[in-house]
Amino acid sequence: MNKLLIFLFALSFFISSCKRQQIYKSVSIPSADSVIVAVETPHISADSAIITTPNNSVKVGENEEDKVKIDEIDFKYLKAKSKIAILKDGKTENVGANIRIKKDSIIWLSITWGMVGEVARVLVTRDSAFISGVNQKTFKREYHKYSFAELSREYNFDLNFNIIQSAIIGSQPIKKKYKLSKDKGFFLLKQKEGRVTIDNYVGEVDRKLKKVMLEDELPTKRKMTLDFENFTTLNQYLFPYTSVLTLEVQSPDDQKFYQTLIQLKHTKVELLEEPLEFPFKFQ
C-alpha cells in the first residue's frame, strides 16, 4: 500500500463540508515524545438545540423533545477493532484499524495492512491531525502535522473534529437550531451553516441517527453522506457497527465528479470509564 493511500485513508475521515466556529478548547500537544492523556473539554449536548417550526420556535425540553431528541450513546472512552474498505478511482483497498476515543477530545487510530502490520498511526485533536506512516519506498516512518485549515485547502473541503467522531460512533456532527419535518418514516432535521446544507435523518421509532447529508454548491459542488447501519445493542445503547462515508467532489478543472467511499465495520466495541492511553511519537 503506497504512501498516498495510507494518507488517503487517514485524511478521508476528516472531510466535512460544513464550516463551524470553534466551541471547544483545543487540546495542547507536547513537543516531546510522550503518551497523550486527554484533558477535559466542554460538551455541547442536543438539549441546547432549537427546533424551528413553520409557526414558532420551541426549545428542546418542551413538547417537541420526545419526537426529535436523537438517542446518542454516552461514554467517556471508547475502544474498537474495525475493518475499513476504501473505494477510489475504481480500486478497493482493505485495511484494519484499532480505534480509541476520548469523547469530544481525542481520536487515535492504528492502521494495519495485511501481514505488514501497522502502516500508519493517526492522532486527531480539536484543531489538528498528526499522522505517522511508513514510506513504502524507503521503509522509513514519516511524520506529518496538519491543521484543519491546511487539510481544508488540500482537499477543497472545510474540516472539523466532529465529523470524524460522527463517522465512528454515529453521533450528530452539528448541534444547532434546525427546521423539523418528516420524510418517509424519518424525522428530517435540516440545518444551514453558511452556504452548506445539512440534512439529518432520524428514525421515528428508535430515534437513532441513520443518515447525514452535507452539501456545498460553491465554488464547486461538494457532497458528503454518512450512512449508519447494522445497529446492535452495546451496553444499554443501540450502536451502529457499520458506517459508510461517501464523498463526491466536482473538479474545478474538468467539472467531472470524483467519488471516494469508505466503509467502516466494527468487529468489537467497548465503552469504558477507565482512561485510555493514546501513544504517539512526535518529531
* Residues facing 260 on adjacent strands: 88, 247
3-19+47-278 under CATH 2.50.20.10, yes or no: yes
Alpha carbon of residue 128 to chain centroid:
14
Whether the predicted pLDDT of 131 surpasses 70:
yes
Q: What is the mean pLDDT of residues 19-27?
A: 26
- Nearest alpha carbon to residue 214 among 243, 246, 179, 259: 246
Q: What is the mean pLDDT of residues 41-57?
A: 31
- For residue 255, the model assigns a pLDDT of 78
Torsion of CA 131, 260, 200, 103, to 10 degrees: -20
**Grid cell of 243 as nine digits:** 458506517
Whether the predicted pLDDT of 40 surpasses 70:
no
- Nearest alpha carbon to residue 85 among 8, 171, 164, 33: 8
* Residues facing 122 on adjacent strands: 109, 131
Q: What is the mean pLDDT of the chain?
A: 75
- For residue 154, the model assigns a pLDDT of 63
Q: What is the mean pLDDT of residues 127-155?
A: 77
Rounded to an integer, what distance in angstroms lies between the CA atom of residue 216 and that of residue 224? 9
Rounded to an integer, what distance in angstroms lies between the CA atom of residue 192 and that of residue 198? 6
Q: What is the mean pLDDT of residues 100-115?
A: 93
Q: What is the mean pLDDT of residues 271-282?
A: 93
Whether the predicted pLDDT of 118 surpasses 90:
no
Predicted TM-score (pTM) of the model is 0.75
- Would you tell me how many other CB atoms lie within 10 Å of the CB of residue 89? 7
Residue ranges covered by each domain of the chain = 3-19+47-278
**Grid cell of 131 as nine digits:** 499522522
Q: What is the mean pLDDT of residues 64-92?
A: 85
| Confidence band for 240, pLDDT divided at 50, 70 and 90 | very high
| Confidence band for 107, pLDDT divided at 50, 70 and 90 | very high
Is residue 175 within 8 A of residue 48, CB to CB? The reply is: yes
Whether the predicted pLDDT of 156 surpasses 60:
no
Which residue type does 40 have?
E
Whether the predicted pLDDT of 80 surpasses 90:
yes
| Confidence band for 152, pLDDT divided at 50, 70 and 90 | low
Whether the predicted pLDDT of 32 surpasses 60:
no
| Confidence band for 136, pLDDT divided at 50, 70 and 90 | low
| Confidence band for 195, pLDDT divided at 50, 70 and 90 | confident
Give the CA radius of gyration of the chain. 19
Q: What is the mean pLDDT of residues 169-196?
A: 90
Rounded to an integer, what distance in angstroms lies between the CA atom of residue 202 and that of residue 61? 18
